[in-house]
Amino acid sequence: MLKYLIWPLLAVGLVLLPHGLSFSQQEILVFLTINVLLVSTYRLLTLTGEWSLGHVVIMGVGAYASALYTKEFGVWVPVSMLLGGVTAALLAVLLSFPLFRMKGFYFLIGSFAAGEIIRLLWKRFRDPFGGPKGIKGIDPMPDFSIGIYDFDFFEPVSYYYFAGVVVVVCLWILWRIEKSPVGLTFHAVHWQDKLAEASGVNLRAYRTLAFAIASGFAGVGGALMAHYVGTINPNSFDVEVMVFVLTWAIVGGTGTFYGPILGCVALTVLNEIVLRELGFEQMRPLIYGAILILSILFMPKGLESVVQRLIQPRDKKSDADREALS
């Protein structure tokens, strides 16, 4: 019974959520929605066993591309968001040629270097990237109405609904990919690479595919952010942001689909509600660092392992109940 109610209840909860919040909290909610997409794409990348340090820059590629398409060519914003994602995916395919000659630690460092080079190119070339100050005055999403609700994108609530729908669709696609034969092959590439290769799986192609899909959806996330904030610069996508994504993924755990989302939501709530309200804003990196260390030391499987432990005994008990009834 509960199983069928949980999704509608969650949907209603998410629709009602912004109305109980203050204006600044609604804005944070928009960023949280986009970050959920970002951290989920990061998990898809880690499925094949590679940990990238360039993922946030790839997201930035989507943001820059989408912003430039609307600015230079006057592309309609929703289309240019999609094109931003496509651009990020194509760049990932290009980057895969040098990067996938590396594995493990070397891939980590290589992706970091590639990301920094892209960021420095944005910084160096004023035309078209705007140099260190970045791109300002990015076209906002045009307002529209669907009859029962008028979208006015100066209101964070409207943008939250819009971004929420986009993110839910993206998450659904990511979920379908993971459960498809392709997704299972990603797992095989990570855990049984020799066996997979022996049974005819092209490791390189599947790693590239995972990288491209993850980058494409991250690019869409970046575009969503660019058209909401209206201004982007190279520092919006620096290593510090990458470390936050890494922290969300590790604190949440990457073993399940919901793990990284859980980490992202939990840490954002902690950060915005606890730290900001209590006035510990400056301590944010310190507390994030401490949480990162504590969770890798004492909770190496992440928050998801705690959730699983909470669910497991209840399942056993309900099994026992069922047996008792029959």
For the CB of residue 49, give the shortest distance to another protein in the complex, in Å.
Answer: 10
CA dist., res. 20 & res. 23, Å (int): 10
Phi, psi of 192 (to 5 degrees): -135, 55
**Between 114 and 189, whose beta carbon lies closer to another protein?**
114
For the CB of residue 286, give the shortest distance to another protein in the complex, in Å.
Answer: 4
Per CB under 8 A, the segment of 11-19, 212-220, 270-278, 282-290 that binds another protein is 282-290
Phi-psi sector, 142: left (phi>0), alpha (psi -120 to 50), beta: beta
Q: Which amino acid is at 51?
A: W
Per CB under 8 A, the segment of 33-41, 159-167, 171-179, 242-250 that binds another protein is 242-250
The DSSP 8-state label assigned to residue 135 in this structure reads: B
- Site membership for another protein, residue 51 (CB under 8 A): yes
For the CB of residue 254, give the shortest distance to another protein in the complex, in Å.
Answer: 11
Asked if 280 and 287 count as a contact pair (C-beta separation under 8 A), the reply is yes
| Residue 150 β-bridge partners | 145
Asked if 296 and 250 count as a contact pair (C-beta separation under 8 A), the reply is yes
- Site membership for another protein, residue 292 (CB under 8 A): yes
For the CB of residue 53, give the shortest distance to another protein in the complex, in Å.
Answer: 10
- Site membership for another protein, residue 11 (CB under 8 A): no
- Site membership for another protein, residue 289 (CB under 8 A): yes
CA dist., res. 290 & res. 299, Å (int): 13
Sole binder of another protein in the list 10, 11, 94, 120 (CB under 8 A): 120
Chain positions 72 to 111 lying near another protein, rule: CB under 8 A, are 98, 101-102, 105-106, 108-110
Q: Which helix (H) or strand (E) holds 151?
A: strand 150-151
β-pair type (150-151, 144-145)? antiparallel
Binding site for another protein (CB under 8 A): 51, 98, 101-102, 105-106, 108-110, 112-114, 116-117, 120-121, 123-124, 239, 243, 246, 250, 282-286, 288-293, 296-297, 300
